[in-house]
Amino acid sequence: MIVILQQDATRAQIDNVIARIEQMGCGVVVSQGEERTIVGIIGNGRRLDPEQIERMDGVDRTVPITRPFKRASRDFHPQDTIVKLNGLAIGGRQLIVMAGPCAVESREQLLETAHAVKAAGAQVLRGGAYKPRTSPYSFQGLGEEGLRILAEARQQTGLLIVTEVIDPHLVPLVSAYADILQIGARNMQNYALLHAVGEAQRPVLLKRGMMSTIEEMLMAAEYILSHGNDRVILCERGIRTFETYTRNAMDISAVPLLKQLSHLPVVADPSHATGMWGLVEPVSRAAVAAGADGLIIEVHPRPEEAVSDGAQSLKPSRFAALLQGLRPVAEAVGRTL
């Protein structure tokens, strides 16, 4: 951390700041510029709270030097993390495709979709049993009944299951059925929930909050990692901007940037990022070309009857065609599908 003093800071104020830093066991290097004094901190500055320093008289602001995330950082873990699960390796050369409906609506709907996405080439089935919905009057999911249907689909198809958990106290129940626990965008900073999945024995798919920075996302991953669960998969799913044509804006740079900053696998969600099924295919191609380790895509046998997010769901035939067209793109960047 660096402390930048105010232009009119007095000698006494500067000495005070230095004393505070040394009291915490850190050393200082003082630079006397033409206009301002700057104090650099030597030693483990993580022990110092920048906000406390900024509130001292004579201090203008502080500048962080080290990134706040540690376990999630590539600096501390240079090799790629590959999340292994039932023969699947997420983060390796092979791309992982997760597909399925937004919500589990019925046994028929889910099984039909599961067989279709399996046939098209997906390895993981998605489907919500607990749905966070903007309106209290909308369908909130089938709950445990939905989990049971997902488990049956796994048995029939061999697909792994990823499903969202929205309450810390449901983590054991959801873990009993699902292979991967999903933290949704609205819960990315629900720390009670992050704590709970950090203690679970399942990999976690962590979706970026729709208005969360990349640093906040990596700090959310840090929560999970710091509670003992090192199998975290990051998911870029679009951020909120001023643009209204699309539901969100896929932050495509986040894909390679997360791979540079962190060792964790990164998948992309083109369905939520765009909100328009007609954009899912080109944005899927873009994500793979940018280096994503996988995709999570909404597929519904009859999108016009879907109880949620129908506008962004693909029919199985379109999904199959999408994967078909994606294969050469994957190969062009040295991946397999």
- Give min distance, CB of 192 to a second copy, in A: 4
By C-beta, is 88 or 182 nearer to a second copy?
Answer: 182
- Give min distance, CB of 254 to a second copy, in A: 8
Is 2 in contact with 39 (CB distance < 8 Å)?
yes
DSSP structure string for 45-89: GGGS-HHHHHTSTTEEEEE--S-S-STTBTTT--SPP-EEETTEE
By C-beta, is 118 or 195 nearer to a second copy?
Answer: 195
Interatomic CA distance for residues 100 and 299, integer angstroms: 5
Helix H or strand E segment including 57:
none
- Give min distance, CB of 112 to a second copy, in A: 17
By C-beta, is 154 or 237 nearer to a second copy?
Answer: 237
- Encode burial over 167-203: b for 16+ CB neighbours within 10 A, e otherwise: ebebbebbbebbbbbbbbbebbebeebbebbbebebb
Q: How close are the terminal C-alpha atoms of the chain, in Å?
A: 44
Interatomic CA distance for residues 185 and 268, integer angstroms: 13
Q: Which tokens go with 176?
A: 């009993």
By C-beta, is 156 or 192 nearer to a second copy?
Answer: 192
- Give min distance, CB of 167 to a second copy, in A: 4
- Give min distance, CB of 186 to a second copy, in A: 4
